[in-house]
Amino acid sequence: MKLYQKFINPYMKQYLKSVMIAIFFAVLTMLTSALLTFTSGYLISKASLKPETILLLYVPIVGVRTFGISRAVFQYIERLTSHNAVLKILSTMRVQLYEMIEPQALFIHNRFKTGDLLGTLADDIEHLQDVYIRTVFPTISAIVVFFITNVTLAFFDWKFAIFIALCLGIIVFVYPLLSLYMLKTRQTEQKSWHVKLYESLTDTLFGIKDWMISGKKEQFIQQFLNAQSAKNQIDRSIAFWNQTRTLHLQLLSGIIMISMAIWASIMVQSGEFAPSYIAAFTLVTLPIAEGLLPVSHAVERIPSYKEALIRLDRIERFSSNGQKRSDISSKIPLKNITIELNQLTYRYQNQQENAVNNISLRIQQGQRLAILGKSGAGKSTLIQLLQGSLLPTSGTVSIAGFAPEHFGDSIYDIISVLNQKPYLFATTVENNIRLGNEHASREKIEEIVKQVGLAHYIQSLPNGLDTQMEETGQRFSGGERQRIALARILLKNTPIVVLDEPTIGLDPLTESKLMDTIFDVLKDKTIIWITHHLIQIEKMDHIIFLDHGELTMQGTHDELMRTNKRYQQLFQLDRGKAHV
């Protein structure tokens, strides 16, 4: 119930006017439909009695036309207002969901399963429209019509009105609660299997190569078919109950109609009604029952909304925690940040070996650290632990005394990353650089362009800084793209910069010049350099080598050259490649 108060009630209050208008016209639609049937029954009966003049049929004929047109108009207005209100609600919910997810982009893989997130984005928000369209609006409208019907009938015969109230009460209250009880577990299981199929889909898309290479595609197909079969079985059981319930309610509606016909006949015999009202009162039960029958289906859907609300609540809780934690960065002196790793260990799910194993390290402000190791050695995992996008299996990471995840999205104010392929957008050069600090002046951007060695090149462009870049910056060379990304980092002015193999794919001369520029403009910052190449490695203050997640050697360049034969071989081999 708390979840409904948290995610449903606020929108009901925000758009209460639109909701009330939709319910009002829904009630009018059902009432005009009932009056149309009542008037039609009376008109047919009256016409069959061969009245002395056609004028006696004029009023019911006008009534039939009026109620027929009114029903269509009211129904159109009801659909228009209800869907307009729901679309406004969904729009607000989608915007809020984006605002909750966007700051957590760095932590998504750690906090949420991809299938879970896909289920929320593709299904949950859309599914919650049913709370209003298929549950709230029909239920409230039916209850209003239920009371209007019984109050109106009580004016003619209060004893019979009580009997009809009991019969209609079975439709409006008993069967909906029974449906809720019968289908509560099945609805939850159905939603759960729906999410599992999403997860299975995303796991397959991301791991399709592994499935193919391992020769286990049949195993996946069988798992998927088993999940689909389980969901289909639940769907069938729910459909069977719905059909059974519909049969029961239709039989009850028939009983009500027959009872109404008998009561109307008795009223005619007693002289209370004219004979032409028998068909009118008998037929009016049909649209009333038709308007009340959907309540069972509306109420039974309540458990199916729970899973969607739980996932939304989970996303919001992470977002709220991140928002609270982001204030930490404002309390940290950015000029003196120490990074400490203490017996840091991390193991991915379903893996037998640690990706990072028992690493202890201390990085002072302004220190330059190089991380060497072959692919899969744990270098990228170590950086993700440092950013807080992964949480340690054991051990700790601290930045200025705080765990990285405590910073939330403000970790970007502490750490910048220059990776292999920085993303550049199809906008101007200035706007791509300004991503580092949207409030930076044009003069500051021009100053940084000079620092990264792009001033001459930018001046040669048709419109200088206002030159449009193609998507991903394709019109620029690899070295130029890296320098633009470096300018963005300088504008951001974070105390820690991670270089994730930024020179991959560059020729040796461009690579050397770029590294000279990087070390020059980042001279006062902490640099963590992930690399396979040892070009300019001697400029680093400390070097560590990772192998299968373990720290196998560390020291300065001079120390390792004197004492470690493996490092000597790597250095000479790399130098040999550089001269090829």
Residue 361 contacts residue 341 (beta carbons within 8 Å): yes
Q: How confident is the model at residue 324 (pLDDT cuts 50, 70, 90)?
A: very low
Residue 580: predicted pLDDT: 38
Q: Tell me: pLDDT of 225 over 90.
A: no
Q: Tell me: pLDDT of 101 over 70.
A: no
Where would I find the H helices in 270-378?
277-283, 285-292, 294-300, 302-325
Instruction: Between 524 and 505, name the one with better pLDDT.
Output: 524
Whole-angstrom distance, CA of residue 413 vs CA of residue 409: 8
**Out of 58-72, 301-315, 443-457, which region has the weakest mean confidence (pLDDT)?**
301-315
453-492 tens-digit pLDDT: 888 888 888 888 888 876 655 667 777 888 888 888 888 8
Of all residues in the chain, what percent carry a pLDDT higher than 90?
A: 21
Residue 213 tokens read as: 């290479």
CA distances from 390 to 44, 106, 385 (A): 75, 9, 5
Whole-angstrom distance, CA of residue 279 vs CA of residue 513: 95
Residue 420: predicted pLDDT: 75
Whole-angstrom distance, CA of residue 193 vs CA of residue 438: 44
260-292 tens-digit pLDDT: 999 999 999 998 888 889 999 999 999 999 999
Q: How many Cα atoms within 13 Å fall on the side-chain side of residue 135? A: 18
Averaged pLDDT, 489-508: 81
Pairing of strands 368-372, 526-530: parallel
Instruction: Between 266 and 377, name the one with better pLDDT.
Output: 266
Beta bridge partners of residue 394, listed in sequence order: 345
The 3 state secondary structure assigned to 172-235 is: HHHHHHHHHHHHHHHHHHHHHHHHHHHHHHHHHHHCHHHHHHHCCHHHHHHHHHHHHHHHHHHH
Q: What is the mean pLDDT of the chain?
A: 81
Q: How confident is the model at residue 173 (pLDDT cuts 50, 70, 90)?
A: very high
